[in-house]
Amino acid sequence: MDYSTDYTTHAEAIVELFASTFTASEGTEEGALIGALARRLIAETPAGDLRVFTAWEDGTLVGGIFFTRLTYEGDPRTVFMMAPVAVATAHQGKGIGQRLIAHGLDALRQEGVDIAVTYGDPAFYGRVGFEPVSEADLPAPQPLNQPQGWIAQSLTEAPLTPLRGPARCVAAFDDPALW
């Protein structure tokens, strides 16, 4: 498997991957929502606030992951949120997602990012080091519909300690429908 961070050249393929993957697993409406989110993240998010990693097998896009900056007023730590994550339906169950996530987290560690957070299935993301956190310890930028899915991990030797909010996300994520 090859990894790439070139999201501008492959923007349409990435958007299609997210739209089709979420349509297959969550339905047409969710596929359209996440496809539009991927498009906005690529088109509107400043490069300093966005990291995109894609996985390729034999020239075919098989997985993708977005990391976007979360800013906490009054807290100097660098925080990135991992979302959304997609693996092409035909390639699921092969460990591609876990390897892609590990690759992305390693790249963030090397960059000096302090904390990664995501909003998803704790059982799945727990396999790559994410642990449940409370909104009191790590404020979310929007009210959470499923607070049990708010999970994080320290990317440094320092333990995960409470962040001082309020939190701000990138513009594409500043939509209550996504939370």
Say if residue 40's pLDDT is above 90: yes
93 DSSP assignment: T
Question: pLDDT band for position 142 (50/70/90)?
Answer: very high
- Domain residue spans of the chain: 2-178
> Which tens digit of pLDDT belongs to each residue from 120-130?
999 989 999 99
42 DSSP assignment: H
Mean pLDDT of 167-175: 96
> Which tens digit of pLDDT belongs to each residue from 7-37?
999 999 999 999 999 999 999 999 999 999 9
This prediction has a pTM of 0.94
Q: Which CATH architecture has domain 2-178?
A: 3-Layer(aba) Sandwich (3.40)
Say if residue 68's pLDDT is above 90: yes
Mean pLDDT of 104-132: 95
Say if residue 155's pLDDT is above 90: yes
Question: pLDDT band for position 53 (50/70/90)?
Answer: very high
CA–CA–CA angle 39, 43, 45 (5° rounding): 110
Residue pair 6/58 in contact by the 8 Å Cβ criterion = no
Look up residue 19 and give its amino acid.
A
Q: Is the peptide bond before 166 cis (omega within 30 degrees of 0)?
A: yes
